[in-house]
Amino acid sequence: MFTCTGCALLCEDIEAIVENNRIKEIRNACRRGAARMKGCMNRLVPSIAQKPADIESSIKKAAQILRNAKSPMLFGFDNSTSEAQIKGIQLARKINAIIDDTSSFCQGILIENILHKKLRTCSLDDIRNKADVLVYWGSDAQDSQPRHLSRFSYFPRGESRQRGYEEDRLAIAIDVRESNTAKICKGHFYRIPLKGDREFILALMEALSGKAPAYDTKNMLGLASILKKAQFGGIFVGIGLTYSIKNDFEILTALADMLPKFNIMPMVGHYNMRGFNEVLFKETGFVNRVRFEGNGVQDNKYAIIEALKNKSIDALVVVGSDPVLSLPRIVIPHLASIPVVCIDPCQTFTSGIATVNIPSAASGVESSGSAVRMDGKVIGLKKILENNYLSDEDIMKRLMEAV
Amino acid sequence: MGIDIGKFLKNPEFEILITTYRDIFQVEALEKDRFGEEYMKLSAVISLSKNDLQKMGFKPGDRVKLSNNYGSVVVEVKESKKNEPGGLAFMINSPWANSLISDETDGKGIPEFKHVKAKISLSKEQITPIVVLIGTFYK
């Protein structure tokens, strides 16, 4: 059995049918996971200034870029093993670089609150064994973490939930659209206006405290009644909720305080984003947006969006991420104007503009290691295919030697 | 032969609010080949409710130009599969949607990926190819 790196559920029941050292078939994974494990059509090749080069020269050139930079940033690592993340942080420390990852504009704020123990949480195994009320909030697990409902939350039998979804579990969706997850939560889908989460939470808190809220009174009282009766609940916080309350995140803490039987569960996309947050947190006390000047210092100005917008970085190393695809196009011109080193198994939009490209092994398929599941559990990744690619960890070590 | 006056008239423009979301088929296409046709076909799309389509006079399959202060793209119109009430349009998270995202963050590093105001109008232009979105940055 192998571990899927399609998302941060890190499903450990994957079978790979290998023929001639190529993956012929992936079993048990979802569409996303199977596609990821089978690999991309366009492998990255080493290059300097978009001209083919050998790996050694590419690593040397990358090190030279880092040596010459006054304010370099290392970005990504959410699709790398925890071992590679540790090396990446050591490299950032050695060269006094900024280090950031996609959690900076994703679920970082939520994970930070969880690591600071401001929010009660539990393991996905606890959810499977005990949970009777499930709230998918701003989260379309069916499309983003497709086996969440079938492996852990809604459909499976658990120790205290022997009748699974038919009798023992109730699923609720709160969202701005009727997602595929909301469709499953038949009769318990609460549609809210865009950015309406705060108002919804305030009304729900009123209803939980026994008052009749002005906002959607009947539905709110009904929902409060379901939540109060729960024996063991999970609120699965998607990016929709996180974005909506990002300027007033304490409101989620306040709601959680009124729901002592509920656990706040982060829904994470990239397979080891939580791992990056945890590793950096252990090293510095911060989950992202850190600059090393001796000790790590966190500041919003070290978020990749701000750094590009303010043109405050003069070199960028991207590891297993594609910021040219995922960031607002309006901040890309600065990225395209500075030397970029792209480390990835596949060609990406970022590799297309990078000064140096260094191909890496696809972790979990071509290299081993460990990663942190979205609930914090450490999961092993086992290599499936023999290959000559350097792992992200190897590349970080080599860069550290060469800078 | 009469003059086609229609081609000199500007297509009516409507204000819309867009939110972004994830789609498993599009992510699958991304994992396989982000430069491929399938990824573009699944990404360069805006979904509108039946009500909004009628109100704006669009049909599924029409091409529309979306523009705001941050960028402009041409994408295909689809009707929302679900029974959406209207007033909100949907785009899958992709470089096409990202062309319309503001860099205003109040200094907090998180752009409004899910709250995008734009203008929408019928367009005869081709769907914006990825080389136009990304290629301009190639050195």
Cross-chain CB nearest to A143 (options B24, B114, B133)? B24
Same domain, A313 and A233: no
Give chain B positions within 8 Å (CB) of A142: 24
Are B91 and B79 a contacting pair, CB within 8 Å?
Answer: no
A contact test, residue of B23, B28, B133 with most A CBs within 10 A = B28
Cα–Cα–Cα angle for A328, A334, A335, rounded to 5 degrees:
75
Tens of pLDDT, residues A75-84: 999 999 999 9
B contact test, residue of A185, A330, A337, A355 with most B CBs within 10 A = A330
Q: Are strands A356-359 and A340-344 parallel, antiparallel or unpaired?
A: parallel
Are A88 and A378 a contacting pair, CB within 8 Å?
Answer: no
Tens of pLDDT, residues B107-121: 899 999 999 999 999
Rounded alpha-carbon distances, angstroms, from residue A12 to A6, A15, A126, A211: 11, 9, 17, 46
* Amino acid A232: pLDDT: 98
Count of domains observed in chain A = 2
Are B46 and B118 a contacting pair, CB within 8 Å?
Answer: no
Q: Is residue A163 part of a domain?
A: yes
* Amino acid A292: pLDDT: 97
Q: Is residue B117 part of a domain?
A: yes
The pLDDT mean for chain B works out to: 92
Residue A104 Cα, gap to closest chain B Cα (Å):
7
Same domain, A237 and A115: yes
Q: Which residue has the tokens 């409710």?
A: B49
A50:B139 CB<8 A: yes
The parent domain of residue B62 ranges over 11-135
- From A183, which residue of chain B is nearest by alpha-carbon distance? B82
* Amino acid B4: pLDDT: 66
Last residue of a domain, one of A214, A244, A266: A266
Same domain, A294 and A183: no
Q: Is residue B1 part of a domain?
A: no
Residue A308 Cα, gap to closest chain B Cα (Å):
10
pLDDT exceeds 70 at position A89: yes
Q: Is residue B5 part of a domain?
A: no
A31:B101 CB<8 A: no
A32:B24 CB<8 A: yes
Cross-chain CB nearest to B110 (options A179, A246, A347)? A246
- From B88, which residue of chain A is nearest by alpha-carbon distance? A194
Are A12 and A3 a contacting pair, CB within 8 Å?
Answer: yes
The pLDDT mean for chain A works out to: 97
Residue B97 Cα, gap to closest chain A Cα (Å):
8
Give chain A positions within 8 Å (CB) of B31: 6, 32, 35-36, 40
Rounded alpha-carbon distances, angstroms, from residue A200 to A244, A245, A316, B120: 11, 11, 40, 30
Give chain A positions within 8 Å (CB) of B130: 349
- From B43, which residue of chain A is nearest by alpha-carbon distance? A325
Same domain, A249 and A210: yes
A143:B23 CB<8 A: yes
* Averaged pLDDT, A23-39: 97
Q: Is residue A128 part of a domain?
A: yes
* Averaged pLDDT, A387-400: 98
Cross-chain CB nearest to B34 (options A105, A304, A348)? A348
Which CATH number belongs to the domain containing residue A83 in this structure?
3.40.50.740
Same domain, A132 and A56: no
pLDDT exceeds 90 at position B136: no
A143:B33 CB<8 A: no
Q: What is the CA radius of gyration of chain B?
A: 16
pLDDT exceeds 90 at position B60: yes
Four-point Cα dihedral A59, A64, A66, A70, nearest 10: -170
Q: Is residue A372 part of a domain?
A: no
Q: In the structure, what pLDDT confidence band is assigned to residue B7 with cuts at 50, 70 and 90?
A: low
Same domain, A177 and A70: no
pLDDT exceeds 90 at position B125: yes
Give chain B positions within 8 Å (CB) of A301: 107
Residue A300 Cα, gap to closest chain B Cα (Å):
6
Last residue of a domain, one of A266, A293, A322: A266
Q: Is residue A99 part of a domain?
A: yes
Are B53 and B81 a contacting pair, CB within 8 Å?
Answer: no
Q: Is residue B122 part of a domain?
A: yes
pLDDT exceeds 60 at position B1: no
Same domain, A249 and A155: yes
A40:B88 CB<8 A: no
Q: Is residue B55 part of a domain?
A: yes
Cross-chain CB nearest to A240 (options B95, B107, B114)? B114
- From A270, which residue of chain B is nearest by alpha-carbon distance? B27
Separation between Cα atoms, residue B38 and residue B26, nearest integer Å = 8
ipTM > 0.90 for the complex: yes
Q: Is residue A325 part of a domain?
A: yes
The parent domain of residue A277 ranges over 42-105+271-365+390-402
Q: Is residue B36 part of a domain?
A: yes
Q: Is residue B123 part of a domain?
A: yes
Same domain, A156 and A252: yes
Last residue of a domain, one of A266, A301, A325: A266
Give chain B positions within 8 Å (CB) of A336: 137-139
Same domain, A301 and A332: yes
Which CATH number belongs to the domain containing residue A178 in this structure?
3.40.228.10
Which CATH number belongs to the domain containing residue B49 in this structure?
2.40.40.20
Q: Is residue A376 part of a domain?
A: no
Tens of pLDDT, residues A326-338: 999 999 999 999 9
Residue B131 Cα, gap to closest chain A Cα (Å):
10
A contact test, residue of B43, B84, B105, B132 with most A CBs within 10 A = B105
Q: Are strands B45-48 and B71-79 parallel, antiparallel or unpaired?
A: parallel
Q: Is residue A157 part of a domain?
A: yes
Residue A353 Cα, gap to closest chain B Cα (Å):
5
Same domain, A90 and A146: no
Same domain, A138 and A257: yes
Count of domains observed in chain B = 1
Same domain, A197 and A219: yes
Q: Which residue has the higher pLDDT, A172 or B82?
A: A172
Chain A to chain B, count of Cβ pairs less than 8 Å apart? 151
- From B72, which residue of chain A is nearest by alpha-carbon distance? A329
Closest residue by Cα to residue A334 from A356, A357, A309, A301: A309
pLDDT exceeds 90 at position A61: yes
Rounded alpha-carbon distances, angstroms, from residue B138 to A37, A99, A319, A356: 29, 25, 19, 13
A328:B133 CB<8 A: no
* Averaged pLDDT, A347-374: 97
* Averaged pLDDT, A364-389: 98
B109:A306 CB<8 A: yes
Rounded alpha-carbon distances, angstroms, from residue A270 to A101, B6, B32: 11, 48, 16
Are A361 and A374 a contacting pair, CB within 8 Å?
Answer: no
Q: Is residue A2 part of a domain?
A: no
* Amino acid B2: pLDDT: 59
* Amino acid A385: pLDDT: 97
